[in-house]
Amino acid sequence: MAEHDISAELQRSVQLALANPAGKGLRIRSGNTRGHLLPGDVTDEAIPALDTGRHTGVIHYQPDELVLRARSGTPLAELESLLAEHGQEFAAAIPQPGRASTLGGAIACGWDGPARPYGMSLRDTVLGCRMVNGRGDSVNFGGQVMKNVAGYDLARLQVGALGTLGLLLDVSLRLLPRPEFSVSRVFAVPEQQLPEWWGRTRALRPLLRGTCYLEGLLHLRLCGRERAVKAAMASLGGEESALDWRALGDLRHPFFCTDQLACVNLPPQSAFRPATGSSMVEWEGARVWVRDGDHVQLQQQAREHNGFVEVFRGKAMRLPAPAREWQRRLRNAFDPEGLFNRALYTAHFHGSEADPCR
Amino acid sequence: MTEGQGAPIVTELRRAISAGRVLDRREQVAPFECDALPVYCERPLAVVLARNEEDVVTTVRLCRQHSVPLVTRGAGTGLSAGAKPYGRGVLLVTAPMSEILSLSPERMTARVQPGAINEHISRAAAAHGLYYAPDPSSQIACSIGGNVAENAGGVHCLKYGVTVHNVVALRIVTIEGDVMAVGGDTLSHPGYDLLALVHGSEGCLGVVTEVTVRLTPLPAQTRTLMADFASIRAASDAVSGIVRAGVIPAAMEMMDALAISATEEFCHAGYALDAAAILIIDLDGDPDEVAAELALVREVLRYSGATRVQLADSETQRALWWKGRKSAFPAIGRLSPDYYCIDGTVPRHRIGDVLEAIDAFSHRYNLRVANVFHAGDGNLHPIIMFDSREVDALDRVELLAADILEYCIEVGGTITGEHGVGMEKINQMAVQFSDLEIAQFLAVKQALDPKGLLNPDKLIPTLAHCQEYRAIRERRRESSDG
């Protein structure tokens, strides 16, 4: 794995941008595998890019501690291979839209994979980070231990912040032992029977790692000790599923190959049937992907179910900003000059009258 | 001490909230002068016993209008003086807001008021085969609002996470007196992760008026092991060995010889009085998984040099072993007129080093220290025994505590795992964080509470305080070296 520490260079770039108040701010990029899935212009070539792609390598990894600290530009795939050598994995399955997907990009986006309701989300596994804030200062929050309540939890706050609060230099994440054994089963299930199935999957919880309902088929993934998984499988029945869970989690499954893609976030076990497009249900009904649908209509429908729509491909829509004032003040507290990822901030956090659409 | 009578804010609070719920007479406010760390006490100007969110909004708005500091208190079980009032300030008590508002077995959530007692939530959920996982030792008394403020942990958070991992939504009253909803029933939320920011913010950013917790299915099976060791080092190595073997126990607790003898005398749990340390380990989940992991853990304990390993053969025995562990603090309280519990977290593989260092430090100050702690996540709870009637006892305790916490930082740990900074560890914040980091914390506080009225001077020290403490520390080090 390439070891490059370019912290000083990155910090200097931020300080230089600060010294130029008339500048266009900075655009943070590294693997460039997620930009096309983010409404808000992240590819505006006129804005200087801060490239963390060369800031790579593991700072600390001791398998006993179940903690990994690595630089933000390190490709996730390389980190996963290292962990696998020690029989470990990230405690949250992190989506990797491409081979070049990096740790920093994953934290900035904060996306979660199929296992999210049954274990930890990515934000749950963040223990600490070092970052350069909008004052050009290099600051470290959290740490490498499991429990830590010293100061505000500013490390976890970076998850899903899309780099609008600062430039991540390194991140410490919680790890878990790799499961000994895993299987996937598939069942032909009419849509109206799904709620009944969510009652059944509850009982599989300690072993369940994914549920996916697509084209009339319900796929379940179980992981754990071999003896336990085999016993559960025997009582469950069904056929062996060929679903590629990895491709599903990485948003590379053929279902996602479309120009019109949205994700509806809902309360668990929602009986949500999109009136538009074709759908795939994950997370026991708490996440419904819709392709080729009318996003405006979808948003209206999601609201009726206490949910909201996140557009991945297509014309962006304003996200609800329930605590808009706090968001604005927080951005200001980290980045008073508004240096970092202005377009993403406007599209995702500002909720202003400005049209965030591409 | 200032009497509240006559202060304009007290008159206005009385008018807006029912008079009987605004206390300001000396004998009325005296019981609220400290939380569970009585070393820090101050009688507040007035105490408001909030019945509902409107009472909270009214109190916050009046405090803002009069520029009066506001400290929020739940059940008062905090161990870092986070709920210590100010003589010129109002203490807002949310303990009377203790209802469980709704419980959804399908969504596995419970919506509760901030004064709801931690254990009551699990009791209400039990009928649906569910429970609330974080279990601080004070769970029979502590409130969920306080758990959020401190991001409380507990015995079983090694596997199930701390409060921030088990809360899905909050209602918060901001210093402007606005009610804000954070998080929600969905598993992902738009915007910054304000849930994460509020957890552990010690009442410095807002007042929590409602909490929606995630419930966990009760495990199909729980088995408990107890292992005796002839040295603390061997017990510490076993902890790392179990994790290395790929097992995450639901709980993994350690007690040293002093803690063992105190608790054994107190509740006769059957602990080995000749052991230097014992480990109590819970494995839970699918019965087949538990069986496989039980075999693995037994093997690790054997090669780690455990002198005896027992498996609880009944629910009664399990409960007794845990009763001993959970009553360790009061048991130690019987051995010593006063005790003081600290809360550093260190990397697991350094537990042995840190416990040896604590032993050496304790001789330096001529104080006894018992250790009973969450070994699985490296969260130490050294309990310093002392007699406050001795002239310099408290000074020695504070110096010993500072040495221990600062050693935790030195080995890559933190000054607090679950008790919070409060007033107690405000000095050590200056050691753990640089001025630039403290400045970022202060910028967040300033952004959300511009006048600094919410729990002032707790959690984050001023930059001047940091510099002052670092200078004192430097002088102390020089004089001890010299």
Distance CA B227, CA B275 (A): 9
| Preferred mutation among A68, A144, A147 to probe B, highest tally of B CBs within 10 A | A147
Q: Please tell me the predicted confidence (pLDDT) of residue A69.
A: 98
Q: Please report the residues numbered 50 through 89 in chain A whose beta carbons come closer than 8 angstroms to any beta carbon of chain B.
A: 62-67, 87
Q: Is-contact B227 B254, C-beta < 8 A?
A: no
Distance CA A243, CA A225 (A): 21
Q: Is-contact B239 B252, C-beta < 8 A?
A: yes
Instruction: Please name the member of A157, A206, A226 whose beta carbon is closest to the beta carbon of B193.
Output: A157
Provide the residue type at A137 as one letter: D
Fold assignment, B221-331: Alpha-Beta Plaits (3.30.70)
- Spans in chain A with pLDDT lower than 70: 40-43, 320-322, 351-358
B23: burial class by Cβ within 10 Å (0-12, 13-18, 19+)? buried
Exposure pattern of B59-87 as b/e (b: 16+ CB <10 Å)?
bbbbbbeeebbbbbbbbbbbbbbbbbbbe
Distance CA A224, CA B78 (A): 38
Q: Please tell me the predicted confidence (pLDDT) of residue A356.
A: 35
Contact criterion met (CB < 8 Å) for A326 and B443: no
Q: What is the distance in angstroms between the CA of the first residue and the CA of the last residue of chain A?
A: 37
Tens digit of each residue's pLDDT (9 = 90 or more) over A237-265: 999 999 999 999 999 999 999 999 999 99
Q: Is-contact B455 B204, C-beta < 8 A?
A: yes
Task: Return the structure tokens found at B468.
Answer: 């002052």
Q: Please tell me the predicted confidence (pLDDT) of residue A262.
A: 95
Provide the residue type at B287 as one letter: P
Which residues in chain A belong to E strands, given as ranges? 27-29, 49-51, 58-62, 67-71, 88-90, 126-132, 138-142, 167-177, 181-188, 208-214, 217-224, 239-240, 261-265, 278-282, 287-291, 308-313
Distance CA A210, CA A189 (A): 16
Give the strand order in the sheet containing A308-313.
Answer: A239-240, A181-188, A217-224, A208-214, A278-282, A287-291, A261-265, A308-313
Contact criterion met (CB < 8 Å) for B199 and A177: no
Q: Using the predicted structure, report yes or no on whether residue B229 has a pLDDT greater than 60.
A: yes
- The tally of CA atoms less than 13 A away on the side-chain side of residue A182 is 17
Q: Please report the residues numbered 403 through 442 in chain B whose beta carbons come closer than 8 angstroms to any beta carbon of chain A.
A: 412-421, 425, 429, 432-434, 436-437, 439-441
Rounded to an integer, the average pLDDT of B350-373 is 96
Contact criterion met (CB < 8 Å) for A306 and B184: yes
Residues of chain B with pLDDT > 90: what percent? Answer: 93
Best CA proximity match to B353, nearest among B482, B240, B228: B240
Contact criterion met (CB < 8 Å) for A322 and B181: yes
B101 lies within 8 A of chain A by CB: no
ipTM of this complex prediction, to 2 decimal places: 0.96
State the count of interchain CB pairs (< 8 A) between A and B. Answer: 249
Instruction: Please name the member of A121, A143, A225 whose beta carbon is closest to the beta carbon of B288.
Output: A225
DSSP string, B382-426: EEEEE-TTSTTHHHHHHHHHHHHHHHHHHTT-BS-SSS--TTTTH
Tens digit of each residue's pLDDT (9 = 90 or more) over A146-194: 999 999 999 999 999 999 999 999 999 999 999 999 999 999 999 999 9
Domain A180-244 sits in CATH at 3.30.70
Residues of B in contact with A327 (CB under 8 A): 191-192, 194
| Preferred mutation among B289, B373, B436 to probe A, highest tally of A CBs within 10 A | B289
Instruction: Please name the member of A67, A147, A323 whose beta carbon is closest to the beta carbon of B153.
Output: A147
Contact criterion met (CB < 8 Å) for A228 and B441: no
What is the DSSP code (8-state) at residue A272?
Answer: -
SS3 (DSSP) at B77: coil
Q: Is-contact B343 B416, C-beta < 8 A?
A: yes
A236 lies within 8 A of chain B by CB: no
Domain B100-217 matching CATH 3.30.390.30: the answer reads no
Question: What's the maximum distance between 2 C-alpha atoms anywhere in chain A?
Answer: 66
Kindly report which listed range (A189-203, B106-120, B291-305) carries the lowest average pLDDT score. Answer: A189-203
Q: How many CB atoms neighbour CB A250 within 10 A?
A: 21
In order of B79, B83, B163, B217, the CA distances from B108 in angstroms are: 30, 31, 16, 8
Residues of B in contact with A287 (CB under 8 A): 187-188
- The tally of CA atoms less than 13 A away on the side-chain side of residue A298 is 28
Contact criterion met (CB < 8 Å) for B377 and A231: no
A159 lies within 8 A of chain B by CB: yes
Q: What is the distance in angstroms between the CA of the first residue and the CA of the last residue of chain B?
A: 42
- The tally of CA atoms less than 13 A away on the side-chain side of residue A151 is 31
Distance CA B180, CA B174 (A): 7
Contact criterion met (CB < 8 Å) for B440 and A333: yes
Q: Please report the residues numbered 172 through 191 in chain B whose beta carbons come closer than 8 angstroms to any beta carbon of chain A.
A: 174, 178, 180-182, 184-191
In order of A147, B104, B119, the CA distances from B98 in angstroms are: 27, 18, 12
Q: Which residues pair with A135 in a beta bridge?
A: none
DSSP string, B460-480: S--HHHHHHHHHHHHHHHHHH
Contact criterion met (CB < 8 Å) for A330 and B448: yes
Best CA proximity match to B83, nearest among B143, B128, B129, B27: B143
Sign of CA dihedral B466, B471, B472, B476: positive
Q: Please tell me the predicted confidence (pLDDT) of residue A317.
A: 76
Instruction: Please name the member of A144, A267, A326 whose beta carbon is closest to the beta carbon of B107.
Output: A267
B54: burial class by Cβ within 10 Å (0-12, 13-18, 19+)? middle
Q: How many CB atoms neighbour CB A199 within 10 A?
A: 12
Provide the residue type at A319 as one letter: L
Residues of A in contact with B418 (CB under 8 A): 147, 149
Domain ranges of chain B: 8-93, 100-217, 221-331, 336-424, 435-482
Task: Return the structure tokens found at B426.
Answer: 């405000």
In order of A297, A329, B44, B191, the CA distances from B181 in angstroms are: 25, 16, 29, 12
DSSP string, A111-176: ---TTGGGS--HHHHEEEEEEE-TTS-EEEEE-SSS---SS--TTGGGTTSTTSS-EEEEEEEEEE
Contact criterion met (CB < 8 Å) for B190 and A320: yes
Distance CA A229, CA B7 (A): 67
Distance CA A135, CA B443 (A): 11
Residue of A nearest to B374 (CA): A147
Residues near A195 by Cβ (< 8 Å), separated by ≥ 6?
A: A269, A271, A285
A5: burial class by Cβ within 10 Å (0-12, 13-18, 19+)? middle
Strand B109-112 versus strand B130-131 pairing type: unpaired
Distance CA B238, CA A99 (A): 38
Domain B336-424 matching CATH 3.40.640.10: the answer reads no
Q: Is-contact B343 B380, C-beta < 8 A?
A: yes
Fold assignment, B8-93: 3.30.43
| pTM given for the model | 0.96
* One fold for B221-331 and B336-424: yes
Fold assignment, A7-178+340-345: 3.30.465
Q: Is-contact A320 A302, C-beta < 8 A?
A: no
Contact criterion met (CB < 8 Å) for A149 and B417: yes
